[in-house]
Amino acid sequence: MNKPCTLRDLRQTVWSSPERRRRSVKDEMRQNLICRLESEQPLFPGIIGYDDTVIPQLTNAILSRHNFILLGLRGQAKSRIVRGLLELFDEEIPILAGSEVNDNPFAPISRYGRQLLDEHGDRAPIAWLPRGQRYVEKLATPDVTIADIIGDVDPIKAARGGHILSDELTIHYGLLPRANRGIFAINELPDLAAKIQVGLFNIMQEGDVQIKGYPIRLQLDVALVFTANPEDYTARGKIITPVKDRIGSEIATHYPRSVELGLAITGQEAWIERGGRPVLIPDFVAEVVERVAFEARADKRIDKRSGVSQRLPISVLENVLSNAERRTLLTKEKTVVPRISDIYAAIPGITGKLELEYEGELQGAETVARDLIRRAAGATFEERTGGANSDDIVNWFDEGGALKIAHDERADILLKGFGVVPGLLDFVADVGLARRKDPATTVAGCELVLEGLAAQKRIARSEEAGYARVRPERPGPPFPKSGPGSALA
């Protein structure tokens, strides 16, 4: 079916009905949201962990036709939620062709739109605006000006068109008027200068703007959505009270409440496919990666006001896979199977995402990251083994046994080294940490067991010496250089 190209053609469609003519952006979002609720369609696909918290509050804000703000630390899907609001728009809407502010053909707000109707009447050309172009986003920075947001007089337009400067046709519209009949989102609202926040007053309450002091009023139809860090929004006084008062709903986001939800988010977002090369991620390796973030969020050495982004486990898992992929290429193995040692190789994916307190700064980011991995491995080990008896393994180390792992070695060779430790392979099989007769996952399971025992301080671990007893009976190397009680994997 051909789309209407002129106002006359548009009058013959549903768009000319009184309901459609008067429908605002917020009404449109509300109606489409109601349709989704009635048909039980997912409201925000790809948003995980907010079903009982954020999404109900967000739904209420939209049903209330509110401007709203999402308050949360970094990496809590605020931007994704805001951009997902586009799904509540119609696929496309009619506008007057050439309009910079997406004029409604039946109620234009700009001088250009009114002149077009006066000159052409029912022959005024119509264009169609897809919903993907009805979203305008701005990151608030101190250098943002009123001209950026609302607009300014353009002397060049005035000279070329022969207009006086007070003529509306000389205006160069800012981001907000260009978002008319759509969503205007401001990220990190408190970072917007106070005088710019003042410029939002009329938009949020009366729904109009003034440009350059001239009595030009644009009755904008726009949904305003903001994001902010709660520390900036509530405690530091960076948000002026009148703006805060005009925001209809404050919605607090949060990090995943459980490891399972975190795993689902990381699995959805991380780049796992590696050019067709088979990839097998043991579930306990992915769990250790996820628990690193959980441990970091609870660690007193890490700044709670900054938070630990969900991007941390995503980046770490990608680094873990890359290290395993590199090893696979070197050893000519067919399947990429990451191990616990690969998580230590992914420390660069951790350190850059941690804002440390004074104590953490003294210890150093890498030391903190290693400790987080060890604790995450220990928690996963306890969760997976359920208190299974590992005394035989510990006794071997207590009697002077030691094991140093060559991390870039083939899985089948490492398996022989792990076989020296009495009961280790049986323990891994009994607690379900390995696929049957699969050296790669068995090796990964053995590493988890040893890391878990080291986290419990039942055996010792060092980068140089590997795994050994906690307290040697006499001074010297942490394990003998030769003899039946030593092994090199």
Return the closest-CA partner of residue 311 out of 293, 325, 327, 298.
Answer: 293
Tens-place pLDDT, residues 108-140 = 988 889 999 999 999 999 999 999 999 999 998
Among 212, 232, 252, the domain-final residue is 252
Q: Are 49 and 73 in a shared domain?
A: yes
Q: Are 319 and 447 in a shared domain?
A: yes
Q: Are 332 and 239 in a shared domain?
A: no
Q: Are 106 and 145 in a shared domain?
A: yes
Rounded Cα distance between 334 and 270, Å, is: 21
Q: What is the DSSP string of 449-466?
A: HHHHHHHTTSSEEETTTE
Residue 381 lies in a domain: yes
Residue 104 lies in a domain: yes
Residue 408: the pLDDT is 87
Residue 1 lies in a domain: no
Residue 402 lies in a domain: yes
Q: Are 116 and 42 in a shared domain?
A: yes
Residue 349 lies in a domain: yes
Structure tokens at 303: 């700044």
Residue 379 lies in a domain: yes
Q: Are 215 and 271 in a shared domain?
A: no
Strand order in the sheet with 249-252: 135-139, 182-187, 222-228, 68-71, 249-252
Domain span including residue 69: 7-252
Rounded Cα distance between 160 and 155, Å, is: 9
Residue 312: the pLDDT is 96
Residue 213: the pLDDT is 60
Among 252, 274, 297, the domain-final residue is 252
Residue 283: the pLDDT is 95
Q: What's CA 207's distance to the chain center, in Å? A: 32
Q: What is the pTM of this model?
A: 0.86
Among 196, 228, 252, the domain-final residue is 252
The CATH number of whichever domain residue 54 belongs to comes to 3.40.50.300
CB proximity list for 87: less than 8 A, separation 6 or greater: 44, 45
Residue 2 lies in a domain: no
Identify the burial level of 273 via C-beta atoms within 10 angstroms of its C-beta, where 0-12 means exposed, 13-18 middle and 19 or more buried. Answer: exposed
CA-CA distances (angstroms) from residue 10 to 17, 31, 95, 122, 328? Answer: 10, 22, 10, 9, 62
Residue 235: the pLDDT is 53
CB proximity list for 27: less than 8 A, separation 6 or greater: 65
Q: What is the DSSP string of 190-253?
A: GGS-HHHHHHTHHHHHT----BTTBS------EEEEEEE-HHHHHTS--S-HHHHHH--EEEE-
CA-CA distances (angstroms) from residue 435 to 163, 334, 418, 441? Answer: 78, 16, 16, 6
Q: Are 241 and 281 in a shared domain?
A: no
Tens place of pLDDT per residue across the chain (489 aa): 588 999 999 999 999 998 888 899 999 999 999 999 999 998 998 999 999 999 999 999 999 999 999 999 999 999 999 999 999 999 999 999 999 999 999 999 888 899 999 999 999 999 999 999 999 999 988 888 888 888 776 666 655 665 655 566 667 788 998 999 999 999 999 888 888 888 787 777 776 666 666 666 778 899 999 999 888 786 555 888 888 888 999 999 999 999 999 999 999 999 998 887 899 999 999 999 999 999 999 999 999 888 999 999 999 999 999 999 999 999 999 999 999 999 999 999 999 999 999 999 999 999 999 999 999 999 999 999 988 999 999 999 999 899 988 888 999 999 999 999 999 999 999 999 987 778 999 999 999 999 999 999 999 988 777 888 886 554 444 444 434 444 545
As a whole number of Å, the end-to-end CA separation of the chain is: 70
Q: Are 146 and 282 in a shared domain?
A: no
Structure tokens at 11: 């009058």
Q: Are 206 and 161 in a shared domain?
A: yes
Cα pseudo-dihedral 6, 12, 18, 20, rounded to 10: -60
Tens-place pLDDT, residues 385-442 = 988 999 999 999 999 899 988 888 999 999 999 999 999 999 999 999 987 778 999 9
Return the closest-CA partner of residue 216 out of 179, 176, 175, 167.
Answer: 167
Q: Are 244 and 347 in a shared domain?
A: no
- Residues β-bridged to residue 336: 279
Q: Are 239 and 369 in a shared domain?
A: no
Q: Are 279 and 414 in a shared domain?
A: yes
Domain tally for the chain?
Answer: 2
Return the closest-CA partner of residue 232 out of 299, 300, 306.
Answer: 306
Residue 163 lies in a domain: yes
Residue 101: the pLDDT is 92
Rounded Cα distance between 110 and 112, Å, is: 5
